[in-house]
Amino acid sequence: MTKIIGLTGGIGSGKTTIANYLRSFGIPIYIADDEARQLMQSKEITVALENTFGEAIFENGILNREKLAAIVFNEPEKLEQLNAIVHPVVKRHFENWLTENNKASYIIYETAILFESGSYKKCDIIITVTAPLETRVERVIKRDKTSRELILKRIKAQWTDEQRISKSNFVIENSSLEVAKQKADEILKILAITQKHC
């Protein structure tokens, strides 16, 4: 039976970079944020978002993610409403994807909110990726061209590294990508995932 490895970490920790490195070993990877971004364009979700948050979050019929983020990361109850709309759709999509990849010994489910969403309960193994706060903030500013204030609000809305680590089997410290890759290699050896396909 396919084992599910949960890969998580706060915004800017570099978990997607680690996921893409692990992909080179032939492990199927499900990156929840990327899939959610695609699924949020579906009629099912856009209608629910408009009903909940109003037309102001759309521009020319296209969801403005920055406007939505400004709303939900200022009010915890709004974030809960957003998650209640998006998470069930992503969950169904992941279950279908898992069925398609049921020949794999391991798959990786990568998401920032593995614990907050309760998805960790379905994981056989959990890996948390960490990095110093300032490193994370710098990475996200460079990647998303957003403000420090908004990033810190998003970090505050997520679990702390300490909370994640307490429920994880492995931790990858990602200040240096080379050191992080070495740690990932060690974990793969422990899990006996050694065949590389790159």
Question: Apex CA 32: angle with CA 67 and CA 190, to 5°?
Answer: 145
- Asked whether residue 107 is domain-assigned, the answer is yes
- Asked whether residue 82 is domain-assigned, the answer is no
| Tally of residues, the chain | 198
Q: What are the tokens at 52?
A: 């909940």
- Asked whether residue 33 is domain-assigned, the answer is yes
Which residue segment(s) compose the domain that 18 sits in?
Answer: 3-38+89-190
Which residue numbers belong to the known binding site?
A: 12-17
pLDDT, tens only, 53-107: 999 999 988 999 889 988 998 888 999 999 999 999 999 999 999 999 999 999 9
- Asked whether residue 18 is domain-assigned, the answer is yes
- Asked whether residue 109 is domain-assigned, the answer is yes
The answer to whether the CB of 15 falls within 8 A of the CB of 110 is: yes
- Asked whether residue 9 is domain-assigned, the answer is yes
pLDDT (0 to 100) of residue 157: 86
β-bridge pairing 106-110 and 3-8: parallel
Q: What are the tokens at 17?
A: 């970079």
Query: What total number of domains does the chain contain?
Result: 1
Which residue numbers belong to the known binding site for ATP?
A: 12-17
Q: What CATH number does residue 113 fall under? A: 3.40.50.300
Q: What are the tokens at 125?
A: 């193994």
pLDDT, tens only, 109-156: 999 999 988 999 999 999 999 999 999 999 999 998 888 998 998 899
- Asked whether residue 59 is domain-assigned, the answer is no
- Asked whether residue 8 is domain-assigned, the answer is yes
**pTM: predicted TM-score of the whole model, two decimal places:** 0.88
Residue in this structure with the two tokens 């006996």, named with its chain if needed: 192
Separate counts of helices (H) and strands (E) for the chain = 9, 7
Mean pLDDT of 151-169: 94
